[in-house]
């Protein structure tokens, strides 16, 4: 089974994550940050990855540590579940419209982390979250998952729609990338025979 279980404890946060790549999009998310919970629920539902997240962080300071560390923990669990990454499609992309907003996400589960983030906001906060923290989540997730990740909001006005379309597009791209290709289920999708490194 392609599952990952991570327990991450620091002086700032305590986070447990369980995920199943071959799930049905079931979720149970509790981070203490309502808007982040909503986004992680969207990630699970639209990727069909079962996801459980329980996080306690220093929210009396701000939401930064909990947001970033949840990205690290989820990305780490994803990398664990992927194992040697044999048989996966590896690449995925998605365009997600949400009313006036259109966002494009492309992902390569290459084991070479990199984030391109072309998303702009017109307000500083959504709910209790600073909008600058969304980039921190995607950066932490890409780094821990070993993913090259390009996120671009092509256009949009409503900040809620912009963020939600980013998470939904990630979900749909991830869903494609983690699928097993039945023609190459026993092979790593690279001419090198291994994913990672500098090429």
Domains contained in the chain, CATH given: 3-184 (3.30.230.40)
Average pLDDT over residues 45-60: 97
In this structure, what token pair is assigned to residue 94? 């998605």
Share of the chain above pLDDT 70, in %: 93
- Say if residue 181's pLDDT is above 60: yes
Residue 198 pLDDT: 43
Q: How far apart are CA 146 and CA 129, in angstroms?
A: 26
Would the pLDDT of 180 be above 50? yes
Rounded average pLDDT over 59-70: 95
Q: From start to end of the chain, where are the E strands?
A: 3-9, 13-20, 27-30, 50-57, 91-98, 101-108, 114-118, 125-126, 129-130, 148-155
Residue written as token pair 């392609």: 2
Round to whole Å and give the CA distance between 5 and 7: 7
Residue 185 has pLDDT above 80, yes or no: no
Any idea how long the chain is?
199
Task: Please report which confidence band the pLDDT of residue 128 belongs to, taking 50, 70 and 90 as the band edges.
Answer: confident
- pLDDT for residue 199 is more than 90: no
Which pTM does this prediction carry? 0.93
pLDDT of 197 > 90? The answer is no
The HSE-up count of residue 53 (CA atoms within 13 Å, CB side) is: 33
Q: Residue 103: is its pLDDT beyond 50?
A: yes
Q: What is the mean pLDDT of residues 147-156?
A: 98
Residue 2 has pLDDT above 60, yes or no: yes
The reported pLDDT for the residue numbered 148 is: 98
Question: Where does residue 114 rank: exposed (0-12), middle (13-18), buried (19+ CB within 10 A)?
Answer: middle
């Amino acid at each position: 089974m392609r599952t990952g279980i991570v327990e991450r404890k620091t002086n700032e946060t305590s986070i447990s994550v369980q995920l199943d790549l071959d799930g049905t999009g079931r979720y149970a998310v509790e981070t203490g940050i309502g808007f982040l919970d909503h986004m992680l629920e969207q990630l699970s539902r639209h990727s069909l990855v079962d996801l459980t997240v329980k996080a306690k962080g220093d929210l009396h300071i701000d939401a930064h540590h909990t947001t970033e560390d949840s990205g690290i923990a989820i990305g780490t669990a994803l990398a664990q579940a992927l194992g040697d990454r044999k048989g996966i499609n590896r690449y995925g992309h998605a365009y997600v419209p949400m009313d006036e907003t259109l966002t494009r996400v492309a992902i390569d589960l290459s084991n070479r982390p990199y984030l391109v983030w072309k998303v702009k906001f017109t307000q500083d906060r959504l709910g209790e979250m600073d909008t600058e923290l969304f980039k921190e989540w995607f950066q932490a997730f890409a780094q821990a998952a070993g993913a090259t990740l390009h996120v671009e909001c092509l256009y949009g006005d409503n900040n809620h729609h912009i963020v939600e379309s980013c998470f939904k597009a990630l979900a749909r791209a991830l869903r494609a990338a983690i699928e097993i290709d039945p023609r190459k289920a026993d092979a790593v999708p690279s001419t090198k025979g291994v994913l990672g490194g500098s090429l």
